[in-house]
Amino acid sequence: MNCSDLIIIGAGPGGYKAAVYAAKKGLKVTIFEDVNVGGTCLNVGCIPTKTYVHSKDFKEAVERQPQVVEALRSGVETLLSHPNITLVREKGVFINANTVSGVTAPNIIVATGSSAKMLPIPGADEQNVGSSTELLGLKELPKRLCIIGAGVIGMEFASVFQKFGSEVTVVEYLKECLPMVDGDIAKRLRKLLEKRGITFYMGAGVKSIEPTPNPSLKGGEQSKSFPLGEDLGEAVLFEQKGKEVAVEADYVLMATGRKPNVSPDFANAGFEYDERKGIAVDENFETSVKGIYAIGDVNGRQMLAHAAEMQGIHVVNRILGIEDKIRFDFMPAAIFTEPEAACVGPTEDQLKEQGVPFECHKSFYRANGKALAMNETEGMVKLCCEPEEGKLLSAHVFGAHAADIVQEVTAYITLGATLRQLRETVHIHPTLSEVLIEVN
């Protein structure tokens, strides 16, 4: 039986980053991966989606996607060739609390990620219904795309496919899109996307999906919109304000969240887990069994690639007895629509619910010189802080390079800085980041 200092199950962002970091610190690491290294984010998630966002049309996006993914995957393979790392290209299966597929170690990290969650409704398995993975696999642009769900995945695909020329409809159960973003920001972004031609049905509960004749077909001609050449479209049936509504589409994207990838063999290790919530962990991402940790999407805490990466680094530090000050209570996130949206910290409504004293400060891109020069005047910044320009609590932004702007505020928040200190930091002129010191 082989021995290692650390076993990692899954070579996604959390798993491979933890492996490389641990190896550089001198640990002998065995990492298991039965699909492609890089996980969902690199292969069928963040990276392919951003390739679409930054492509001028659908044809270019389809051509560039595999090139970008392969280049980055090759880079991960190179990182995992470190002499202290053994990459096993098979599924890691727990035999007991110290053994995975014939390898033993005193410490084990589970980083198995997540998969798309489909609504349990009639028609969810229709041929022209799929998750983001299947949508990214289409070789022809759907003329009509219906997206169920207005979270991060739904909004990003709505924005990019509308840009490519699809007629896009979004059906969302909640009253507003992007629940993790401040309501004021989310509403403004949705209204802007509506002006660009995207149709939104908010507060709508989807009941079923049914095949329907495709009106674009003539004389039995097959539609190129369909991956398997069927001559049927799909009708998404939902209820909104007591009325039954149907939306027809060539393709339906089910963007209704993700579920942790748990496995029956987890029971052999003895830690607590749930098929819906994932693996239960403490503040250091350790499971109920000492020496076994769970990071990334599988613990259900923060389903973000960068969260998984930092959780993995924290776990390795803990194994090595290294103290760090990583702030998992302030996790920035971005939505790569056009324009972008991004956030860090609680929304205004959440602060009110928590009874936290705060004040809000806003500024708008239309008053920023760089935004005017870039012809990117649609945008807004909302900063929340303790009273009298005290400690920064959150930032919610939409507009060009919103992610970069929120990243700057994240650094201030992590260090416990105040709005006054942010205002007193010299910012280069002209830059978009000047919107931060222009808040009033």
306, 314, 361, 429: the active-site residue? 429
Handedness of CA 30, 34, 36, 38 (dihedral sign): negative
Q: Give the type of residue at 128.
A: N
DSSP letter string over 368-423?
-HHHHHHT----EEEEEESTTT-BEEEEEEESTTHHHHHHHHHHHHHTT-BHHHHH
Residue 121 token pair: 């409704």
Q: Annotate 173-215 with DSSP letters as a single string.
A: SSSSS-TTS-HHHHHHHHHHHHHTT-EEE-SEEEEEEEEEE-T
Integer Cα distance of 56 and 163 in angstroms: 9
Per-residue tokens: 189: 């972004």
- Establish whether 429 is a catalytic residue: yes
Within 10 angstroms of residue 218's Cβ, the number of other Cβ atoms is 6
- DSSP summary character for residue 44: H
Give the contacts of 15 (CB within 8 A, at least 6 positions apart).
Answer: 8, 9, 31, 33, 39, 109, 111, 295, 296, 308, 312
Is residue 96 within a helix (H) or strand (E), and if so which, with residue range? strand 94-96
Contact 383, 414 (CB under 8 A): no
Rounded to the nearest 5 percent, the helix, strand and coil shares of the chain are: 30, 25, 40
What is the Cα–Cα distance from 203 to 201, expressed in whole angstroms?
7
Q: What residues have CB less than 8 Å from 93, skipping those under 6 apart?
A: 100, 101, 263, 265
Is the CB of residue 437 less than 8 Å from the CB of residue 423?
Answer: yes
Collect all residues with Cβ–Cβ distance below 8 Å to 138 and sequence separation of at least 6: 62, 225, 227, 251
Q: How far is CA 423 from CA 88, 390, 393, 409, in A?
A: 51, 11, 15, 11
Distance between CA 137 and CA 416 in Å, rounded?
Answer: 44
Amino acid type, 403 = A
The catalytic site residues sit at 429
